[in-house]
């Protein structure tokens, strides 16, 4: 039985980022950028107007006010996307739209709200403007040659905006890990069957596939391996074609657990079998045909907890992500919590927010087969192995895992 | 100019959840459940063993200890997925695996670690067990007829587990809104072109599509509408085939903004044009051909802020979600913040966590055309319109928008 942190460190030492591939920008959301994205031009590309109004020489507005407007001659209109016809001379103005390039000669923009029509193609300027006012300067966002988005960045909408702004219809991103998901056990039937006596549905196959997908990787559901050598061997050979193997069940102590024997037959290198955590203790990790392989517990909740703590970080590292562990937050415990010490406890809990900050309530029913508690939870309370219990009001370490309910 | 909350309330009054569709469970992640999912059997379906060990009559273990083990006769092995051969009598035990049904007669399980081999098909029991120990009772997770997952729940891995456990290969979920994305402006070129003088790339089209996707909806990128009646009319007619229309640009005050006129021509009902916020003030909302239509500002940052505050909640409501506004959190301001009062300010910021809790630093460069600040940000500080500035150490309202960096 090895400590949780040792298990994680061991796993992360064995996995490395996959290679890169080119994808269209519109398909890059959530992917990890595989190289620095360098801007090929400055942004803005030219000095331009930040307002709808009149491009003027600021000196011409000296003394202008509501009571004593200054009249300028409008020499032309300049919509965004069009080029200035000619420079702005003394006493002249150009009617300009937001984003349009500043015409030569003009050094400021008077917003339209501070102007009014004047006879003979004129405009009344009702306010002084300073040099540079309402003008966006060439390169004020970024310069040509700047790193616009760094290698390792996750492509969110903001990075999409930036990559579009520097003209990147295609981007190099890390490949998504393809993850083979295998459930083991004679007791399993597929979810389209009513389980006959003694059987249960293969819920883990679907749950683990969902967890893989949530981690940004691609699940390959291989279905059920039976509790015999031939069946398990066949499934694991198929699974080793993927980038990572995740199985559930078959890693506890009974004779009916063939996983260890078959793993040896596949020439796999098994690295550990048990982790000092609850739930999730019977967790195996090794390497099969060069691919990281996780043998998760068969209990639904145990397999989810073990996935979150170990498989997810491994998949994020394979995906090129720089930050791979879930954030933990300090929160105030709303209820006493009894636990057995000796192992790190992951307690299903409901995190909420009140005026004082984050609060967390441990849920009743922590048995590792109880799915109802999992459906009500949005976070784990992580209780260190030395702890012998926690009191209402204690600050505890919480790991939210919910992309939708707590963090909408 | 209407208040932010009024604008949101107005929008939400105009949109309603779309209809339902049936999808395979493995494709349901992130979707909203369209009807209560009722369990068709109890879970567990039968009393079963929570451990690998020996199913016994608890009375037979009375007095058992390390020093004075009790010998029982093992009458058969019972793997998970198999049915018991015959009841357990006095002095008998069944070797049982986790998940296997409890044989009649037995009322407890001795875990294998508390046992040892005994001659003549026997087992030494080295510990007392209580009635019911290590036995999971039929229905202790949920009963037949229980609502296993409620209508309106977002399908996360936990809900996937539950839906699989009740045998739901298909689930009814709300349809995902199809969202037409149109950028308007003569200044725009597609991102595969180097912008000629006076032009810029159509970054908004890509950014808004990414925001749509992040909200769980389906973007349809219709490209660029030019600043003339015919072009805009054509694009908006196409757009009205979708469930929702999002355009950017063309909603400010100039003559070159044709959007309002074309909207009238399409028989649309425009509801408001301006919202008291910064950035994002020139925000139009209306209904075109029965479809909600958002006219977002052309500035990249303004359009992202406006999307987050108004379009996203509308899309979540259309998707059947019950909680549709992003969570806001109290956080400690790390730096003085000067602002102009009169409008709600959305300040791009970096939220972090230290030992005392959540902290937030406003970023330098709040201009609405500055994408670099957007790339560095993971949250907005929402500053009420009455505020005339905030001081370092103040508790402020923060709206994290980052699914990946802050909340990994």
User: Is the distance from CB of A369 to CB of B44 less than 8 angstroms?
Assistant: yes
Answer yes or no: do A191 and B26 touch at CB < 8 A.
no
Count how many pairs of residues, chain A against chain B, have C-beta atoms within 8 Å: 335
* Residue of B38, B371, B395 to mutate for A, most A C-beta atoms under 10 A: B371
Inter-chain residue contact A371 with B44, CB threshold 8 Å: no
Residues B65 and B115 both lie in one domain? yes
Nearest CA in chain B to A193: B167
What's the pLDDT score for residue A61? Answer: 97
Question: Could you tell me if B231 and B312 lie in one domain?
Answer: yes
Task: Answer whether residue A363 is part of any domain.
Answer: yes
Nearest CA in chain B to A158: B375
Q: What is the CATH number of the domain that holds A60?
A: 2.170.190.11
Tokens 């595989």, residue located: A34
Decide if A191 is inside a domain: yes
The verdict on B37 and B153 lying in the same domain is yes
Q: Is B338's pLDDT higher than 50?
A: yes
Pick the residue of A37, A158, A205, A374 with the most B CBs within 10 A to test the interface with B by mutation.
A158
Residue percentage of chain B with pLDDT more than 90? 81
| Domain end call among B318, B338, B358 | B318
Mark whether B266 and B291 lie in a shared domain.
yes
Is B306:B280 a contact under the CB 8 Å cutoff? yes
CA dist., res. B318 & res. B322, Å (int): 10
Distance from CA of A265 to the nearest CA of B (A): 23
- The single-letter DSSP state of residue A310 is I
Spatial distance between the Cα atoms of B241 and A408, rounded to a whole number of angstroms: 28
Task: Answer left, alpha or beta for residue B60, where phi above 0 means left and psi between -120 and 50 means alpha.
Answer: alpha
Please tell me if residue A403 touches chain B, with a CB cutoff of 8 Å: yes
In this prediction, residue B403 carries a pLDDT of: 56
Cα A143-B351-B32 angle, rounded to 5 deg: 105
Instruction: Give residue-wise pLDDT tens across range A202-250.
Output: 999 999 999 999 999 999 999 999 988 899 999 999 999 999 999 998 7
Flag whether B405 is in a domain: no
Average pLDDT over residues B77-102: 93
Q: Is A352 on the interface with B (CB under 8 A)?
A: no
Work out the average pLDDT over B166-185: 97
Angle at B64 between CA B62 and CA B70, to 5 degrees: 100
What is the pLDDT confidence band of residue B340, given thresholds at 50, 70 and 90? confident
Please write the tens of the pLDDT for every residue from B113-154.
Answer: 999 999 999 999 999 999 999 999 999 999 999 999 999 999
Mean pLDDT of chain B: 93
* Residue A276 within any structural domain of the chain: yes
We report the CATH number of the domain holding residue A305 as: 3.40.980.10
Residue A142 lies in a domain: no
Contact across the interface for A157 and B369, Cβ inside 8 Å: no
Report CB contact under 8 Å: A358, B353.
no
- CATH number of the CATH domain containing A390: 2.40.340.10
Chain-chain contact of B191 with A252 (C-beta, under 8 angstroms): no
Partner-chain residue, chosen from A221, A300, A357, that has the shortest CB–CB distance to B161: A300
Q: What is the pLDDT of residues B273-285, one digit of tens each?
A: 899 999 988 899 9
pLDDT of residue A404: 57
The answer on B273 and B186 residing in a single domain is yes
Let me know if residue A261 belongs to a domain. yes
Long-range CB pairs of B165-168, under 8 A, 24+ apart, other chains included: B165/A200, B165/A201, B165/A203, B165/A300, B165/A371, B165/B43, B166/A201, B166/B37, B166/B38, B166/B39, B166/B40, B166/B41, B166/B43, B167/A191, B167/A192, B167/A193, B167/A194, B167/A195, B167/A201, B167/B40, B167/B41, B168/A191, B168/B25, B168/B37
Does any domain span residue B407? no
Give A353's contacts in chain B (Cβ within 8 Å).
327, 329-330
Question: Across the interface, do B367 and A136 touch by the CB < 8 Å criterion?
Answer: yes
Q: Taking CB atoms and an 8 Å limit, are B41 and A195 in contact across chains?
A: yes
Residues A208 and A277 grouped into a single domain: yes
Rounded Cα gap, residues A62 and B245, in angstroms? 45
Whole-angstrom distance, CA of residue A10 vs CA of residue A77 = 67
Decide if pLDDT at B260 tops 80: no
Q: Which of B30, B192, B375 sits opposite A162 (nearest CB)?
A: B375
Q: What is the pLDDT of residue B408?
A: 34
pLDDT value at residue A254: 55
B247 and B282 both lie in a single domain:
yes
- Ramachandran bin of B298, using left for φ above 0, alpha for ψ from -120 to 50, beta for the remaining angles: alpha
- Calpha distance B353→A399 (Å, rounded): 13
Burial A178-217 (b: 16+ CB within 10 A, else e): bbbbbbbbbbbbbbeeebeebbbbbbbbbbbbbbbbbbbb
Model confidence at B258: pLDDT above 80:
no
Closest CA–CA distance from residue A237 to any residue of chain B (Å): 23
A26 vs B221: CB contact, 8 Å cut-off? Answer: yes
Dist. CA A201–CA A199, nearest whole Å? 7
**Residue-range definition of the domain harbouring residue A391:** 329-400
Nearest to A165 among B29, B197, B371 (CB): B371
Q: Compute the nearest-CA separation of A2 from chain B (Å).
A: 18
Pair of tokens at residue A395: 């600050």
Strands B188-189 and B200-201: parallel
Domain of residue B145, CATH code: 3.90.105.10
Q: What is the pLDDT of residue B254?
A: 55
For residues A241 and A106, state if they share a domain. Answer: no
Q: What is the pTM of this model?
A: 0.94
Query: Structurally, how many domains does chain A consist of?
Result: 4
Q: HEC string of chain B?
A: CECHHHHHHHHHHHCCCCCEEEEEHHHCCCCEECCCEECCCCECCCCEECCCEEEECHHHHCCCCCCCCEEEEEEEEECCCCCCCCCCCCCEEEEECCCCECCCCCCEEEEHHHEEEECCCEEEECCCCCCCCCEECCCCCECCCCEEECCCCECCHHHHHHHHHCCCCEEEEECCCEEEEEEECCCEECCCCCCCCCCEECHHHHHHHHHHHHCCCEEEEEEEECCCHHHHHHHHHHHCCCCEEEEECCCCCCCCCCHHHHHHHCCCEEEECCECEECCCCCEEEEECCEEEEEECCCHHHHHHHHHHHHHHHHHHHCCCCCCCCCCEEEEECCCECCCCCCEEEEEEEEEEECCEEEEEECCCCCCCCHHHHHHCCEEEEECCCCCCECCCCEEEEEECCCCCCCC
Contact B340, B384 (CB under 8 A): no
Whether the predicted pLDDT of B407 surpasses 60: no
Please provide residue A136's backbone torsions phi and psi, each rounded to the nearest 5 degrees.
-90, 130
Token digits for A87?
Answer: 């420079």
| Same domain flag for A70 and A32 | no
pLDDT tens series, chain A, 408 aa: 899 999 999 999 999 999 999 999 999 999 999 999 999 999 999 999 999 999 999 999 999 999 999 999 999 999 888 899 999 999 999 999 888 999 999 999 999 999 999 999 999 999 999 999 999 999 999 999 999 999 999 999 999 999 999 999 999 999 999 999 999 988 999 999 999 988 999 999 999 999 999 999 999 999 999 988 899 999 999 999 999 999 998 755 455 457 777 878 888 898 998 999 999 888 999 999 899 999 999 999 999 999 999 999 999 999 999 999 888 888 999 999 999 889 999 999 999 888 778 899 999 999 988 999 999 999 999 999 999 899 999 999 999 887 554 333
Phi, psi of B398 (to 5 degrees): -120, 140
Q: Among A136, A166, A192, identify where a domain stops.
A: A136
Are B52 and B130 in the same domain? Answer: yes
Subunit contact A157:B194, Cβ cutoff 8 A: no
**Cross-chain Cβ contact B205/A99 below 8 Å:** no
Give me the pLDDT at residue B404, please.
Answer: 57
Range with the poorest average pLDDT among A384-393, B251-260, B334-343? B251-260
Find tokens 């040509």 and name the residue.
A144
The string of pLDDT tens digits covering residues B159-173 is 999 999 999 999 999
Interface of B with A in 308-327 (CB under 8 A): 316, 323-327
Q: How far is B301 from chain A (nearest CA, A)?
A: 9
Calpha distance B206→B226 (Å, rounded): 17
Q: Does B213 touch chain A (CB under 8 A)?
A: yes
Chain B residues 22-81 with CB within 8 Å of chain A = 25-26, 29-30, 40-41, 43-46, 50, 52, 77, 79-81
Distance (Å, whole) CA B218 – CA B235: 18
Domain assignment present for residue A406? The answer is no
Q: Is A271 on the interface with B (CB under 8 A)?
A: no
Which domain-ending residue is among A82, A106, A136? A136
Q: Is residue B24 domain-shared with residue B170, that is, in the same domain? A: yes
**Looking at the complex, does the CB of residue A161 fall below 8 Å from at least one CB of chain B?**
yes
Do A154 and A237 lie in one domain? The reply is: no
């Amino acid at each position: 039985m090895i400590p949780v942190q040792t298990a994680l460190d061991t796993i992360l030492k064995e996995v490395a980022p996959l290679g890169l591939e080119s994808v269209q920008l519109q398909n890059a959301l959530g992917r990890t950028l595989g190289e620095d994205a360098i801007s090929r031009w400055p942004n803005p590309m030219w000095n331009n107007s930040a307002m709808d109004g009149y491009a003027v020489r600021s000196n011409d507005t000296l003394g202008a006010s509501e009571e004593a407007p200054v009249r300028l001659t409008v020499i032309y209109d300049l919509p965004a996307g069009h080029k200035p016809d000619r420079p702005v001379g003394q006493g002249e103005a150009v009617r300009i739209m937001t984003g349009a390039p500043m015409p030569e000669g003009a050094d400021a923009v008077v917003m339209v709200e501070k102007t009014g029509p004047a006879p003979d193609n004129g405009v009344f300027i009702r306010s002084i403007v300073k040099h540079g006012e309402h003008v966006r300067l060439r390169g004020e966002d970024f310069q040509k040659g700047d790193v616009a988005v760094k290698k390792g960045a996750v492509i969110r909408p903001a990075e999409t905006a930036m990559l579009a702004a520097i003209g990147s219809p295609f981007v190099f991103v890390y490949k998504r890990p393809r993850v083979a998901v295998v459930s083991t056990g004679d007791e399993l039937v597929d979810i389209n069957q009513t389980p006959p006596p003694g059987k249960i549905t293969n819920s883990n196959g679907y749950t683990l596939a969902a967890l893989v997908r949530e981690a940004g990787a691609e699940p390959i559901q291989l279905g059920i391996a039976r509790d015999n050598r031939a069946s398990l061997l066949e499934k694991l050979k198929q699974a080793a074609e993927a980038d990572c193997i995740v199985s559930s069940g078959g890693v506890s102590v009974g004779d009916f657990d063939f996983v260890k024997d078959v793993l040896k037959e596949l020439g796999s290198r098994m690295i550990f079998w048990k982790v000092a955590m609850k739930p999730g203790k019977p967790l195996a990790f090794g390497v099969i045909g060069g691919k990281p392989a996780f043998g998760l517990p068969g209990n639904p909740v145990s397999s989810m907890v073990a996935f979150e703590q170990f498989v997810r970080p491994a998949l994020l590292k394979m995906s090129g992500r720089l930050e791979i562990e879930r954030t933990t937050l300090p929160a105030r415990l709303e209820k006493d919590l009894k636990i057995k010490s000796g192992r790190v406890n992951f307690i299903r809990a409901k995190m909420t927010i009140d005026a004082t900050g984050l609060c967390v309530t441990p849920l009743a029913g922590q048995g590792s087969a109880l799915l109802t508690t999992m459906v009500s939870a949005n976070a784990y309370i992580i209780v260190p192995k030395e702890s012998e219990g926690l009191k209402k009001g204690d600050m505890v370490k919480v790991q939210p895992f919910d992309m939708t309910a707590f963090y909408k």
